[in-house]
Structure formats: structure tokens, C-alpha cells
Amino acid sequence: MSDPKPAPHGWLVLDKPRGLGSTQAVSAVKRVLRQNGYARTKVGHGGTLDPLAEGVLPIALGEATKLAGRMLDSDKIYAFTIQFGEETDTLDAEGEVIERSDRRPPMAAIAAVLDHFTGDIEQVPPAYSAVKIDGKRAYDRARAGEEVTMKTRAVTIHSLGFPGEREDAELRSTFATTAGRPDPYDPQAPLELADSVTLVAHVSKGTYIRSLARDIAHSLGSVGHVTYLRRIKAGPFREEQAISLDKLEKQAKGAAIENLLLPLEAGLDDIPALQLDPDSAQAVRQGRVLSGLPHADGLHLATLHDVPVALMELSGGTARVVRGFNLPDVAE
């Protein structure tokens, strides 16, 4: 039996299908690695997607798992559809209907309320969410029949609008192609009553799209729930970089999975680089402090010959290791 292939390092941007949980997606990637002869590899994801949601799920492999926590803190962009007239206990299509309304808002009214939900807002997370209450997940308490009281949290909605109105033409085109949906806002028919509406939201960490949809519906004098939810960007990763599980399984049989990965540093596109020489790189690997550096204060990615060595925090010309990377084949 041949020796296993070395464990790969980097990011696999998965296009998660509906019906698959994020943990199941990680398990599926582990299975592909195992079936194709790779050594045991650490695998994690950079931000949970509900089973009923689809789209961009960054999967970290090897040393990239050390950055998965940073991905949880990143902004996200979602496309989502609100179905008016029924609110469910889960705020999505999976739950039981708990309230109905005959009111359907006109498109002009929907357009008018979006600014109210843009910027720094407060929202109440869904009872069916992973938020912990006294050490137990809210959804576990809700499923057990407990009455769940969720605390309000502050989040930021950077932008909220109709796909056809977004200034980001590339994002708009990608959404239209991937989702296969027409522009849901017709400015020529602003008084047309809407049974549903599709919106695009650029949000901070911790934002619940299901809560946003509920609150938008309430502000329009109706009720509603999410019937479609797709993450089209997570941190620096966009859906045009994403690969389906089926395609991953097929391509991994005929090519090295490394060819499908983005490098570890792809998750750090907003971090300036700090070039090291071999001696300073060795010092950093030993956890030592570097002094006398002319770089600006803040987080830097220290590299040797473009290979990541560590994340380092600079302050007053002194750099300390925040997170070291043990990547193979570093050129000396």
C-alpha cells in the first residue's frame, strides 16, 4: 500500500446545497480526502449555513483551520426571499405557521422601508438558532417545547436592496445567473402588491437574515418568513470561486485536490504583508519578537519567499507572533 499523500493546506470554497448542514459538508470533504489517499487532514468551516440555506461555505484545510475563527467575524452577503402572509416558528419554510396576514405590501412600500433597516440596528435572533441560553442552544430548548426568550443584539446592515438596484454589477450578474431569478423590483409597477420579494443584504457577523425578514414584514404591516436563502459572499470568498460537492468528488478523482484550493493567505486579503529574510523567519518560527521594524502598527502576514510564516501584531516597530503556520516546503 502506497504512503498517503501529504495533507493539503488552504481554502476550498464550497457551494453548499440545500438540505446539507455545515458539519455534514465538512464530513463530506474529509471523505473526499480520505478516498483520494490523503493523510489525515484538519478540516473546518468558516461560518455556519443553515441546512435550508445554500451558497458560499469556506472550508479550511490543514493550517488554514487556524484562520477559520477570523472568517466567523467577517462580513457576509446574502440573497433572500421573503414570503409574505405567513410567519413560522423557525422564520423559514421548515417551521410551523404561527401567524397569518392577508396584507400584501406594495413594492413601493417595500422600497421605502429598506433604509430603516440599513446601518446599525438591533434585532432579536430566532428562537430556532444556535445562540446559547444558559449553556444550551436556543434551538434545542425550542425543540424541547421550552418558551425561549431571546435577547436583542446589535448588528450592522451595510447595504440592503433589490438585486437590480445594486451598484455592484458583477455581484448583480452573478446573482441573476446563479439564482435563476429575474429582477424582483419593477420600478414601473411600484403599487403592485407583492406576495414575495427577493433582496440582497451585506451584513456584519452575527446578523440573522431570518430575523431581518421577519422585521421587514412586520414593518410593512404583514408577516413573513424566508423561503430562499443564498450566501453569495463570505469574507473575501465569492460564489464564482465556489465548487459543488459533486464537482469536487469528480475532479478529485482525476487531479490533485491542491489544484482546487485557494492558498491559506486568500483568507487574509485585507492584511498587509511583512517580508522576512531566512534569519528573521527562523526567529519567528521560534516565537521570538522582531524589533526595529518600519511598518505601521496592526496585524501583518509575515512571509518568507511568499510562503506564510505567521500572523504578527506590530506595535511601535515591534512584532509579536499571533498565530504561527507550519507549512511544508518553505524555501530557505
Residues catalogued as catalytic: 50
Q: Which residue has the cell 504561527?
A: 324
SS3 331: coil
Compute the C-alpha angle 250/48/327, nearest 5°.
65
- Distance CA(32)–CA(260), nearest Å, equals 13
Residue 31 phi/psi, 5-degree rounding, is: -65, -40
Q: Which amino acid is at 50?
A: D
Q: What is the torsion angle, in degrees rounded to the nearest 10, for the CA atoms of residue 253, residue 258, residue 259 and residue 261?
A: 110
Q: Which residues contact 34 (CB under 8 A, 6 or more apart)?
A: none
- Distance CA(92)–CA(86), nearest Å, equals 10
Per DSSP, what are the bridge partners of residue 200? Answer: 79, 161
SS3 194: coil
Q: Give the Å distances, CA to CA, from 177 to 101, 119, 174.
A: 33, 28, 5
Give just the sign of the alpha carbon dihedral 309, 311, 313, 314. Answer: positive
Q: Which three cell numbers stand for residue 48?
A: 455556519
SS3 138: helix
Q: Which residues contact 135 (CB under 8 A, 6 or more apart)?
A: none
